[in-house]
């Protein structure tokens, strides 16, 4: 895989038509969205959609994640990584083939693809060592079958420079807020496997960090108990009661006192405090944990936004939305209330980051990943 480069002859203010992809740690689907952008402003939104991961790919990635979490630093890369990279590339290609056919598009319509890849490991930096992050994708394979350049590997450079490597969507959240005519300060909360918040300050400055768990712990709890992959419509959580002792135990983590910016892996918190609870009470307690972590985040921002815009799969869980609305110090609305496509924000974001990578613009900042200065990131592989 070659070094980063700009697409030759591409002026900074010329919009590009980009197909962005995102696959989250929930291992649910390939999200896709079309964006026309110059990497600064959004010029147009194209179609968006998703395709569920095939079971064979999901099973492979679950196994790969388990192996990645046990991978010692300095040891050779696990052999399964290469198989998973190919599977992720093929999954993206097949998902996009269906998507393009559905919307009357072709690969030749796009200047570039922006592909996050599948995260199988994320370790935040400490005072003693750099962080470590792994997003798997065979970008050369994908570029070859699509016939288009592929921007990918957006996190590695930031981590190598001492940053958290996450979150990366904040610069897009700022562009999306401008496109909506929203007045700062405003905050965007993405509730995926992990939840992260972006505060766009009145002066335009960005502060962003992972607040705590999103849906990930609830999903893992249900999967461990053989009760499905997720809490459909928040039914279990709405039927349960919060266990205050278990919640206090979950919140007793040094992470919440650590200064922002900071990042998490979906496996960073243990389910042990809720193991003795019924599924209903465990789900209710984990929803409260997600919400309380968000409220703790507001105490760290130092600025009260005019609204909290909730994106990601968590906004479909009524228990999460009700708890946020009851406890948040600001009005809480779903992304759709502002005309945003809440299921597609991250796919749009990686289309936007691809444009910035192609044009040599920074994608991470001191206030978003803790890196010392704004820096570019990502690499591009040609067909």
Number of H helices, E strands in the chain: 12, 13
Give the largest CA-CA distance in the chain.
61
Q: Rounded mean pLDDT of 113-137?
A: 96
Q: Do domains 16-165+344-381 and 181-338 have the same CATH topology?
A: yes
pLDDT at 212 over 80: yes
Which pLDDT belongs to residue 327? 83
Two tokens, residue 160: 């190598």
Cα 250 to the center of its chain, rounded Å: 22
Give the pLDDT mean for 171-181.
95
For a pLDDT cut of 70, what percent of the chain falls above it?
97
Helix (H) or strand (E) holding 371: none
Tokens 């465990």, residue located: 282
Lowest mean pLDDT among 34-48, 82-96, 195-209: 195-209
Mean pLDDT score across all residues of the chain? 93
- The average pLDDT across 135-155 equals 98
β-partners of residue 375 are: 364
Comparing C-alpha atoms, which of 148, 150, 179, 152 is closest to residue 168?
A: 152
Average pLDDT over residues 260-285: 94
Q: Which fold has domain 16-165+344-381?
A: Nucleotidyltransferase; domain 5 (3.30.420)
Q: Which pLDDT band holds residue 19 (cuts at 50, 70, 90)?
A: very high
The residue ranges of every structural domain in the chain are 16-165+344-381, 181-338
What confidence score (pLDDT) does residue 330 get?
A: 86
Q: In the Cβ-directed half-sphere of 275, how many Cα atoms lie within 13 Å?
A: 6
Residue 5's pLDDT is: 37
Question: What is residue 11's predicted lDDT score, i.e. its pLDDT?
Answer: 58
Alpha-carbon distance values, 323 to 90, 107, 162, 266, 326 (Å): 39, 43, 35, 21, 5
Q: Is residue 260 over pLDDT 90?
A: no
Nearest to 294 by CA among 315, 323, 268, 274: 323
Is the pLDDT at 220 greater than 90? The verdict is: yes
Is the bond preceding residue 114 a cis peptide, omega within 30 degrees? no
Give me the pLDDT at residue 302, please: 73
Predicted pLDDT of residue 297: 87
List of long-range contacts for 31-35, beta carbons under 8 Å, 24+ apart: 31/343, 31/344, 31/346, 31/347, 32/95, 32/96, 32/99, 32/344, 32/347, 33/341, 33/344, 33/347, 33/348, 33/351, 34/105, 34/110, 34/351, 35/348, 35/351, 35/352, 35/355
Of 238 and 2, the structure prediction assigns the larger pLDDT to: 238
| Whether the predicted pLDDT of 9 surpasses 70 | no
What residues contact residue 371 under an 8 Å CB cut-off, 6+ apart? Answer: 158, 161, 162, 163, 364, 365
- The pLDDT score that the predictor gives to residue 10 is 54
- Scanning the structure block, which residue is given the tokens 């002026």? 11
Cα angle 160, 19, 38 (rounded to 5 degrees) comes to 75
Quote the strand ranges of 249-361, DSSP E: 308-311, 332-334
Residue 192 pLDDT > 90: no
State the fold for domain 181-338.
Nucleotidyltransferase; domain 5 (3.30.420)
Please tell me the pTM assigned to this model. Answer: 0.91
> What pLDDT, in 10s, does the model give residues 287-334?
999 999 998 888 777 778 888 999 988 999 999 999 999 988 889 999
Q: Quote the distance between the C-alpha of residue 45 and its chain's center.
A: 20
- pLDDT value for 153: 98
Least confident window among 292-306, 350-364, 366-380:
292-306
21-25, 93-97, 104-108: which has the minimum mean pLDDT? 21-25
């Amino acid at each position: 895989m070659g070094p980063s480069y700009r697409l030759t002859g591409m002026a900074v203010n010329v919009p590009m038509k980009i197909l962005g992809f995102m696959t989250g740690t929930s291992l649910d689907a390939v999200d896709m969205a079309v964006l026309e952008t110059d990497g600064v402003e959004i010029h147009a939104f194209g179609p968006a959609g998703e395709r569920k991961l095939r079971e064979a790919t999901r099973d492979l990635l679950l196994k790969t994640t388990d192996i990645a979490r046990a991978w010692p630093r300095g040891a050779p890369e696990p052999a399964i990584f290469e198989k998973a990279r190919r599977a992720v590339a093929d999954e993206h290609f097949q998902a996009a083939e269906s998507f393009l056919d559905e919307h009357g598009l072709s690969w030749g319509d796009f200047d570039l693809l922006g592909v996050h890849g599948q995260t199988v490991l994320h370790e935040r930096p400490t005072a003693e060592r750099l962080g470590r992050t792994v997003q798997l994708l065979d970008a050369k394979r994908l570029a070859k079958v699509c016939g288009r350049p592929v921007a990918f590997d957006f996190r590695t450079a930031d981590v190598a420079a001492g940053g958290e490597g996450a979150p990366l969507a904040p610069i897009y959240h700022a562009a999306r807020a401008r496109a909506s005519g929203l007045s700062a300060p405003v905050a965007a909360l993405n509730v995926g496997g992990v939840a992260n918040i972006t505060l766009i300050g009145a002066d335009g400055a960005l502060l962003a960090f992972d607040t705590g768990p999103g849906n990930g712990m609830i999903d893992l709890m249900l999967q461990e108990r053989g009760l499905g992959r997720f809490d459909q419509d928040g039914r279990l959580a709405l039927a349960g009661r919060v266990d205050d002792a278990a919640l206090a135990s979950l919140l007793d983590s040094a992470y919440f006192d650590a200064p922002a910016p900071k990042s998490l892996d979906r496996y960073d918190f243990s389910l042990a405090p809720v193991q003795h609870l019924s599924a209903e009470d465990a789900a209710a307690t984990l929803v409260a944990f997600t919400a309380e972590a968000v409220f703790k985040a507001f105490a760290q921002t130092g600025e009260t936004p005019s609204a909290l815009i909730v994106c990601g799969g968590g906004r479909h869980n009524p228990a999460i939305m009700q708890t946020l609305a009851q406890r948040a110090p600001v009005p809480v609305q779903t992304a759709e209330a502002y005309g945003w496509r809440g299921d597609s924000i991250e796919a749009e974001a990686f289309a936007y980051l691809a444009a910035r990578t192609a044009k040599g613009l920074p994608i991470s900042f001191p206030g978003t990943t803790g890196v010392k200065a704004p820096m570019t990131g990502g690499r591009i592989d040609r067909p």
